[in-house]
Amino acid sequence: MGKHAMFHRKDFGTAEEARVFASGASAGDAVCAISEDAEVSYDARASAREATAPEAIKLDLYHLVWIFTVCCVVGLIGETVVSYFVDGRWEDRAGFLWGPFSPIYGVGGVLMTVTLSRLSEARGGVLFGVAALVGAGFEWFAGWFWENAFGIVAWDYSSQPFNLGGHTCLGMALVWGAAGVAWMKLVLPVLQRAADVVPVSWRGVFAWGLLAFFLVDTAMTFLAFDCWMNRLAGVEPAGPVQLFFADHYGNAVMEGRFQTMSMYPVLANFR
């Protein structure tokens, strides 16, 4: 029995009127039921989409510092292991004066995350192409900067086909493209979940503390490179800064720390 059963026979003038009302009420119930079913179906589809959608990429300071730190360490370890099997010897491949960090991997990870964050749901081919351009462009700039600022040659692709000034090449662009796809689809979601384990109340301390350390480490590294280059160019240390680095970070120390870098002061065109 529908809700029209609540009305008594005496409310209608004739039986025909009652039947017409009952028919109209039943149709209304059907329309309401269809509408409710449609809403439930829509909500179910929306919930399914949310369940299968990729995690939102977090670009706040804490998560970016986390990405930079992890990439610096893991990148250094990976490069050291690979170089051992290629060259047959262990070498210190750090890029900072202090700590087990290789900043090119840290900057690369942050750059890939920020650049590709809006393309996280794009097709793999689009991600691959953008990552290849971004990675190769960053590698070219880094190589060009180190060479012109300090005369440092940290890598050289001059013997590879389709290279740009020896700082990057087509082969490395393809590697960057594949790495970018793997980064967005596989690695980054895991890193973000790991970062979220840290309590929210500690994230500010973690981020600002590491950021301050990396800024000081960067400044000290640049100063050490500058003093090292001057000494190799035959300039005698003078002044408190150069004397400090000559005493604490002399040529032997720098050569031991940056074993895979070659420094040629004559290449430093910024001088």
Measured CA to CA, the distance from residue 238 to residue 233 in angstroms comes to: 14
Considering only residues 225 and 43, tell me which one the structure prediction assigns the higher pLDDT: 225
Considering only residues 168 and 57, tell me which one the structure prediction assigns the higher pLDDT: 168
pLDDT for 214 equals 98
Mean pLDDT, range 246-259, rounded to an integer = 95
What are the tens digits of pLDDT across the range 116-156?
Answer: 998 877 788 999 999 999 999 999 999 999 999 999 998 99
12 pLDDT more than 70: no
Measured CA to CA, the distance from residue 12 to residue 6 in angstroms comes to: 13
What are the tens digits of pLDDT across the range 58-69?
Answer: 899 999 999 999
Confidence band, pLDDT 50/70/90 cuts, at residue 55 = low
- What is the DSSP-derived secondary structure letter of residue 183? I
Q: Which residues contact 140 (CB under 8 A, 6 or more apart)?
A: 164, 165, 167, 168
Confidence band, pLDDT 50/70/90 cuts, at residue 51 = very low
Measured CA to CA, the distance from residue 16 to residue 21 in angstroms comes to: 9
Q: Which range among 6-15, 79-88, 101-110 shows the weakest confidence by mean pLDDT?
A: 6-15
Measured CA to CA, the distance from residue 155 to residue 13 in angstroms comes to: 98
Q: Which residues contact 227 (CB under 8 A, 6 or more apart)?
A: 237, 241, 242, 245, 246, 249
Measured at the CA of 162, the angle between CA 156 and CA 168, to 5 degrees, comes to 35
pLDDT for 7 equals 39
Measured CA to CA, the distance from residue 135 to residue 164 in angstroms comes to: 13
Considering only residues 198 and 154, tell me which one the structure prediction assigns the higher pLDDT: 198
169 membership: H or E segment, kind and range = strand 168-169
Mean pLDDT, range 242-262, rounded to an integer = 95
Confidence band, pLDDT 50/70/90 cuts, at residue 83 = confident
Mean pLDDT, range 235-240, rounded to an integer = 94
Mean pLDDT, range 67-94, rounded to an integer = 92
pLDDT for 10 equals 45
Considering only residues 93 and 42, tell me which one the structure prediction assigns the higher pLDDT: 93
Mean pLDDT, range 222-249, rounded to an integer = 96
Q: What 3-state DSSP class applies to 235?
A: coil
Q: Which residue has the tokens 């004066």?
A: 97
95 pLDDT more than 70: yes
200 pLDDT more than 80: yes
pLDDT for 36 equals 54
In the structure encoding, which two tokens stand for residue 41, read together? 């179906």
Measured CA to CA, the distance from residue 177 to residue 199 in angstroms comes to: 34
